[in-house]
Structure 1
Amino acid sequence: MAAASTPSLADLQQEFPFLVDAAMSFAIGEVWDRPHLAPKSRELAMFSALAALGRDGYPQLRLHVQYALNFGATPVELREIVNLTLVTAGVPKALNVAPEVRAVVGGLPRDQAAAAAETAGSRRARGEATLSSLNGGPTDISADAVLGTLAEDFPLLVNAALSFALGDVWSRAILDPVGR
């Protein structure tokens, strides 16, 4: 379950009653209880946010990994969010989040998606296809609002975004586009 360093609300009640009351009444009672997201989606979003926060989010991260599992998330989906953290928050944060996930779920099954993606065409072509699907149709890279403006001065960055971020990570089918 949660790491010993993650205090429960009961542990905090004596010294921080206002904090516990705010967490229970507002954060959990009013915000968390809203019906607009399914509990699993809410926990995956929370896990993603904590992963992106970095070190400040880690004390609560293991707790929310367990909550996500309780609501039906799979270890493979959690690993995929770590992979997305690599792209959205950076390598150091993803490297720090991975052991936190492993501490809760134990060993993760071998990643079959990476091997399957490698056989599905070139990385750049997958990235361009993924960008087109995100844009809702064919995309001319030179006219793209972000990549097109960077292509001339930062071709390595554009290639990394297309080949790695979109082609290797974002194109994976483990999470559906809404979940990603």
Structure 2
Amino acid sequence: MAEEPTPAQKLIGDLAPKLVELTDEVLFGDIWARPGLSPRDRSLVTVTALAALGRTEQLGSHLRLALTNGLAKEELVEAITHLAFYAGWPSAMSAVTRLKDIVEAE
């Protein structure tokens, strides 16, 4: 049975195979698997960094992953609210709006 393509393979596999390889093998295969932080904590760090930087295109998939990794919707809302004072109101509003869309779609 063939292995299902990774999200990166589905998104850009035909265009940027090396970037897919680095994403799958280095980022998710090594960095995300390191024992120093749990997947839950890595998700919290990633979501807050993406929100702070205004990287909303990547934020949606990482918010979904954060929920899968055990973060509660309320915890994500609290983190984003806290972040508003450090990263700016527009970043927080964009992130919480994205989270709302994801939660309502489930």
TM-score, length basis structure 2? 0.86
Consecutive unaligned residues of structure 1, counting only runs of 5 or more, are: 1-7, 108-180
Per-residue deviation at 1:68?
0.8
Q: Does 1:44 align with 2:44?
A: yes
Q: Which has the higher contact order (CA 8 A, sep 6+)?
A: 2
4+ residue segments displaced more than 6 Å: none
Q: In the TM superposition, what are the counterparts of 1:42-81 in structure 2 within 5 Å?
A: 42-54=42-54, 57-81=55-79
| 2:8 aligned residue | 9
Cα distance in 2, alignment partners of residues 18 and 80 from structure 1 = 36
Q: Does 1:30 align with 2:27?
A: no
Structure whose alpha-carbon radius of gyration is higher = 1
Consecutive unaligned residues of structure 2, counting only runs of 5 or more, are: 1-6
How many residue pairs get aligned? The number is 98
Q: Report the residue type matching 2:100 in the other structure.
A: R
Cα distance in 2, alignment partners of residues 29 and 21 from structure 1 = 10
Per-residue deviation at 1:30?
1.5
* Alpha-carbon displacement from aligned partner over 1:131-174 (angstroms, at most 9, x marks no partner): xxxxxxxxxxxxxxxxxxxxxxxxxxxxxxxxxxxxxxxxxxxx
* Alpha-carbon displacement from aligned partner over 1:72-107 (angstroms, at most 9, x marks no partner): 111100100110121110111111111101011129
Instruction: Specify which structure has the higher proportion of helix.
Output: 2
Q: In the TM superposition, what are the counterparts of 1:26-175 in structure 2 within 5 Å?
A: 26-54=26-54, 57-106=55-104
Q: Secondary structure at the match of 1:43?
A: helix
